[in-house]
Amino acid sequence: MAKAEKQPISFEEAIEKLESIVSKLESGDVPLEAAIDLFQEGMQLSQLCGDKLEQVERKIEVLIETEKGIQKKPFAPANEDRGE
């Protein structure tokens, strides 16, 4: 049977899954192999959440700069401002 396509999960769903994994691991009732799998899944979810937060932060920075009327390329490093 073919595996169904994975739909990207929302930040909120990822956080809920991550909290569930942490609870299971903290309970201490998980066999070692299952704990390793849960830990790996938790690390992936943590990375996904971090990436999503970075994307949102960059979007907010661009929106703030645009609102202030600053003419700057989107997502440009801060050190490019020194030419003023």
Q: How confident is the model at residue 69 (pLDDT cuts 50, 70, 90)?
A: confident
Mean pLDDT of 64-72: 71
Domains of the chain plus CATH, in order, are: 11-74 (1.10.287)
pLDDT tens column, 31-65: 999 999 999 999 999 999 999 999 999 999 888 88
pLDDT at residue 83 is higher than 70: no
Cβ–Cβ under 8 Å, residues 35 and 8: no
3-state secondary structure the chain: CCCCCCCCCCHHHHHHHHHHHHHHHHHCCCCHHHHHHHHHHHHHHHHHHHHHHHHHHHHHHHHHHHHHCCCCCCCCCHHHHHHC
